[in-house]
Amino acid sequence: MEGKSEYKRGLWTVEEDKLLIDYIAVHGKGKWNRIPKLTGLKRCGKSCRLRWINYLSPNVKRGDFTEEEDDLIIRLHNLLGNRWSLIAGRISGRTDNQVKNHWNTHLSKRLGIKKVKSKVGASSQTILFKESGKSLRTCSASNLTPTPDCKAGAADPEVTENGSHRAAGVNSVQELRIDEDNYENHFWFLNDDLDSQVPSLMEFLDKSLDFVWNGM
DNA sequence: AAGCGACCCAACCGCGATGAC
DNA sequence: CGTCATCGCGGTTGGGTCGCT
């Protein structure tokens, strides 16, 4: 690896937090790379931005996720996949990092979901779940979205050696396994169900997904 | 009480997108 | 139009905490 960075890493101290808060109170957000020069903070701009967005911002809600939040995350994740920022955008006070962590540490376990593989290059998500304890039934998530004939996926797949995908946006594929015990409690795959319980969601997704796929 | 492993979450890394010049 | 800086996103890592033996 390369030599020592001029910037500090690891957990933030109270003093560092205060420097960052004071800076933002005066200069506002943005121009993150100026912060170490102007404040003397030994943190790179990227680290400052992340610290503010994920922790220090007054908009960030702390504490446990509510049942309503959990339910919304589950539904949105089914619809959108691992687009955490999009999901977090629909949950007031929660960051994408919080949602991602909460999903990985709590919700995926609760639902018995295991990430089997993740790759790029297909135009839809494939969700596998047990039926009657033997076979796996498949369900294409493209049936669950407003525009099934999405244009993504034209690009060649590019999968890194550690399995993470590199392409942005819609062309990621995951296969999920849902344990039988949990399956019946989480039959949340249908659009009309989602629409009826989250009134503004479909309108939002229509716009978001239309923009992503059609560039409009 | 000590050791160990699992869990959780803040922070980091790498990459693509976007904007300024 | 090309280049560079900055921003934003998603996957991964690392270390602190907790519970079990």
- Considering only CA atoms, which of A215, A211, A195 is closest in space to residue A76? A195
Rounded to two decimals, what is the model's pTM?
A: 0.64
Sheet holding A114-120, edge to edge: A114-120, A172-178, A126-131, A135-140
Tokens for A140, please give them. 């294409």
- Measured in angstroms, what separates residue A110's CA from nucleotide C20's C1'? 22
SS3 A45: helix
Chain B positions with an atom below 7 A of a protein C-beta are 7-17
Q: In strand C, which positions have an atom below 7 A from any protein CB?
A: 5-13, 15-16
Nucleotide of closest approach to A44 (CA, C1'): B12
The spacing between the Cα labelled CA in A201 and the C1' in B5, in angstroms, equals 42
> Mean per-residue pLDDT for A39-67?
89
The integer distance in angstroms from the CA atom of A198 to the C1' atom of C19 is 39
Q: Please, what sign has the CA dihedral across residues A182, A186, A187, A190?
A: negative
Report the pLDDT value the prediction gives residue A7, as an integer from 0 to 100: 85
Closest residue (CA) to C1' of nucleotide B10 is: A11
pLDDT number for residue A47: 92
With vertex at residue A85, the alpha carbon angle to CA A52 and CA A60, rounded to the nearest 5 degrees, is 35
Span A182-199, mean pLDDT? 40
Q: In the structure, what pLDDT confidence band is assigned to residue A164 with cuts at 50, 70 and 90?
A: very low
Nucleotide nearest to A98 (CA to C1'): B9
Q: Would you state the structure tokens that stand for residue A152, as one six-digit string?
A: 């993504």
